[in-house]
């Protein structure tokens, strides 16, 4: 089997140090002996070892910098965070752009090494509980598949390592083909499906359903344009001269068969699970649609939402022994609002929605929003898809009580991202703008904030003193529904695709769609964009569909909002949103304050660092780097 150079030295929480009364520290077990005999002779210690393998999942998407900022979902507010090299197409092996630990090369191979140790030792472990042993084996197969999937969807084919290596082994290795990687990952998942069948389910731990769902994702990606050699060369001309195309795409085989495999894998998930409120035959009310989407984002864990929404979560990051308690977060929770919420609440406005995302939310009747329509331009936040109101914080939106030092400036508790007539020839700067008197350096440059993954309950403060334990959805049921619909569309089964897409829309309070052919594909892609927004799918979807030049490549648009007093009206003091007194104008503008976005075809695959290539001379660099 091929080998790769991997960083070694991780000391796990379950290492057992054995001391002798006679020889003292000289008899201590070496720290590179990660798999001690004591570990594999004891069920709870073996389980603790597997918990450590989970820990490489990190924060999921709950980081200050988010993958959304590499897409047409968001703009990262703060300069100097290494976002620009990717978004401006200048990333190189010697100058890597920002990446999360949840897919970083070395981190993922450390995780894979831990999974390999478990898979090597568990078959010969001496603890008696066979049910636990099978479960841990199933979880290890799932986790190894998950981490390889992370690598493959960012880099293409990678070296497959299926056993733990010691200090004296050769770590150089060539990349496996994309096809070989997909087969390896799905084989691991098939083993996990068998081993986890019938096992007790615990939130945050792998299950048979999560293995089925990850298989659905992997096979959907495998069938997509980016991984079809002919499509990749035709639609990404910057990569056409790459001589090792098999490392990133299929060069032969039946593509229809790949779509059929993707459809079958997704249908297996639909048959095994149920999701949340996907049995409706007509749209719910807009208010219920908004509440349904908020409940899903909270994983059913908000006191103000339906706990049944937890059924959406197939694989989640939750606050359990699987993960270490976060430093500096009260109660060990994640406060997504700190990272992304308004500066007027003492938050940091990290990944703020851009205008293109806002514009892609449909009107309540299912029609497209358009700035060319006078009624839309005059009131762009009226009558939109209910998911918009559960996701985007916009000027005039009702929000939470302000912190005590800001409350007097905004007793109405509304988002203020505009500029308002003061009645004396000037403008009042909104509290949540970059001209605010409250931490203006944290103000949004787009004049929007993210409201998803934040409990909308006004009784819970939106500031740094109140963290919320929110599960990160690594995989949720609706992703599999969308996977199934996409495969059906590609196979010409439009009726079946619409049936399932309308289930999602009815839950959100949106009308049924009736499109077919190319129009249905476009509608599907927008539905997926809106439903899975901020869940780290858009980055991968735009790439696998080979549409990135028209997503990230179209730059950043933001909104400028000005409120002028109507004749005879007097200003509200303090200001509050009021259409009876003010006439609001909304002007989309291009924004290049932090970055000037430009698509380069090489960005379809991330580069390997120069250091990694120097260490492993068999590692073929990705195209165009």
**Rg over CA atoms, the chain:** 25
Any domain includes 579: yes
For 161, 305, 391, 402, 564, the CA distances from 466, given in Å and listed in that order, are 43, 18, 20, 13, 36
pTM score of the predicted model:
0.93
Q: What is the pLDDT of residue 26?
A: 30
Any domain includes 277: no
- CB-based contact 405:316 (threshold 8 Å): no
CA distance 275 to 616: 44
pLDDT digits (tens, 9 = 90+) for 40-67: 999 999 999 999 999 999 888 888 899 9
pLDDT digits (tens, 9 = 90+) for 488-538: 999 999 999 999 999 999 999 999 999 999 999 999 999 999 999 999 999
Beta-bridged to residue 558, according to DSSP, are 589
Q: What is the pLDDT of residue 24?
A: 35
Any domain includes 357: yes
Any domain includes 580: yes
pLDDT digits (tens, 9 = 90+) for 347-371: 999 999 999 999 999 999 999 999 9
For 250, 380, 623, the CA distances from 474, given in Å and listed in that order, are 26, 32, 29
Q: Which residues contact 231 (CB under 8 A, 6 or more apart)?
A: 225, 546
Any domain includes 442: yes
What is the tally of structural domains in the chain?
A: 1
The band of 29, judged by pLDDT with boundaries at 50, 70 and 90, is: very low
Any domain includes 496: no
- CB-based contact 421:575 (threshold 8 Å): no
Any domain includes 428: yes
- CB-based contact 394:379 (threshold 8 Å): no
Q: b or e along 428-454 (b: 16 or more beta carbons within 10 Å of the residue's beta carbon)? A: bbbbbbbebebbeebbbbbbbbbbbbb
Q: What is the pLDDT of residue 23?
A: 34
Q: What is the pLDDT of residue 321?
A: 52
CA distance 138 to 128: 17
For residue 86, give both structure tokens: 């990717």
Any domain includes 138: no
For residue 193, give both structure tokens: 């499906």
Domain span holding position 419: 340-468+557-590
The band of 463, judged by pLDDT with boundaries at 50, 70 and 90, is: low
pLDDT > 70 in the chain, percent: 90
pLDDT digits (tens, 9 = 90+) for 296-351: 999 998 877 899 999 999 999 875 555 544 433 333 345 677 899 999 999 999 99
């Amino acid at each position: 089997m091929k080998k790769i150079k991997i960083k070694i030295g991780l000391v796990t929480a379950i290492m057992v140090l054995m001391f002798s009364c006679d020889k003292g520290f000289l008899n201590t077990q070496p720290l590179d002996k990660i798999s001690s005999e004591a570990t594999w002779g004891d069920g709870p210690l073996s389980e603790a070892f597997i918990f450590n393998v989970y820990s490489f999942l990190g924060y999921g998407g709950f980081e200050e910098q988010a993958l959304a900022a590499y897409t047409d979902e968001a703009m990262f507010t703060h300069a100097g965070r290494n976002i620009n090299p990717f978004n401006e197409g200048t990333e190189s092996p010697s100058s890597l752009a920002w990446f999360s630990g949840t897919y970083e090369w070395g981190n993922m191979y450390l995780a894979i090494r831990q999974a390999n140790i478990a898979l090597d030792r568990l078959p010969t472990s001496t603890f008696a509980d066979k049910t636990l042993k099978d479960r841990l084996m199933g979880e290890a197969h799932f986790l190894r598949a998950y981490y390889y999937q992370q690598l493959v969807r960012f880099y293409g084919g990678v070296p497959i390592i299926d056993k733990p290596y010691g200090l004296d082994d050769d770590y150089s290795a060539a990349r496996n083909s994309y096809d070989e990687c997909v087969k390896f990952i799905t084989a691991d998942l098939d083993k996990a499906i068998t081993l986890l069948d019938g096992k007790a389910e615990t939130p945050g731990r792998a299950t048979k359903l999560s293995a089925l769902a990850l298989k659905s994702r992997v096979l959907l990606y495998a069938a997509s344009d980016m991984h079809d050699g002919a499509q990749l060369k035709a639609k990404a001309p910057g990569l056409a001269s790459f001589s090792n195309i098999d490392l990133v795409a299929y060069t032969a085989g039946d593509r229809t068969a790949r779509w059929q495999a993707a459809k079958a894998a997704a249908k297996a998930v639909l048959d095994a699970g149920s999701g949340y409120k996907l049995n409706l035959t007509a749209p719910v009310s807009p208010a219920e649609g908004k509440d349904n989407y908020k409940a899903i984002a909270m994983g059913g864990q908000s006191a103000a939402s339906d706990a049944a929404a937890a059924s959406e979560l197939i694989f989640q990051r939750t606050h359990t022994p699987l993960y270490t308690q976060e430093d500096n977060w009260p109660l060990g929770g994640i406060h997504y609002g700190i990272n992304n919420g308004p500066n007027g609440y003492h938050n940091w406005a990290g990944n703020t929605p851009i205008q293109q995302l806002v514009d892609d939310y449909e009107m309540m009747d299912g029609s497209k929003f358009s700035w060319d329509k006078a009624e839309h331009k005059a009131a762009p936040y009226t009558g939109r898809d209910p998911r918009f109101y559960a996701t985007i914080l916009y000027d005039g939106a009702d929000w939470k009580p302000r912190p005590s030092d800001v409350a007097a400036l905004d007793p109405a508790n509304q988002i203020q991202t505009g500029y308002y007539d003061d009645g004396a020839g000037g403008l009042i700067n909104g509290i949540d703008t970059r001209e605010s008197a409250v931490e203006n350096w944290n103000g949004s440059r787009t004049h929007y904030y993210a409201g998803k993954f934040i409990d909308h309950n006004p009784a819970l403060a939106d500031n740094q003193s109140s963290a919320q334990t929110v599960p990160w959805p690594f995989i949720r049921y609706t992703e599999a529904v969308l996977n199934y619909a996409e495969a059906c569309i590609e196979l010409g089964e439009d009726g079946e695709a619409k049936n399932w897409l309308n289930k999602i829309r009815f839950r959100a309070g949106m009308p049924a769609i009736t499109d077919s052919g190319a129009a249905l594909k476009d509608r599907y892609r927008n539905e997926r964009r809106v439903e899975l927004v901020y869940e780290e799918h858009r980055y991968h979807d735009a790439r696998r569909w080979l549409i990135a030049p028209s997503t990230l490549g179209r730059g950043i648009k933001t909104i400028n909002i000005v409120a002028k007093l109507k004749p005879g009206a007097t200003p509200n003091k303090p200001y509050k949103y009021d259409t009876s007194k003010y006439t609001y104008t909304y002007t989309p503008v291009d924004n290049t304050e932090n970055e000037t976005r430009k698509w380069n075809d090489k960005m379809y695959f991330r580069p390997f660092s120069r250091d990694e290539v120097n260490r492993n001379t068999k590692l073929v660099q990705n195209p165009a780097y």
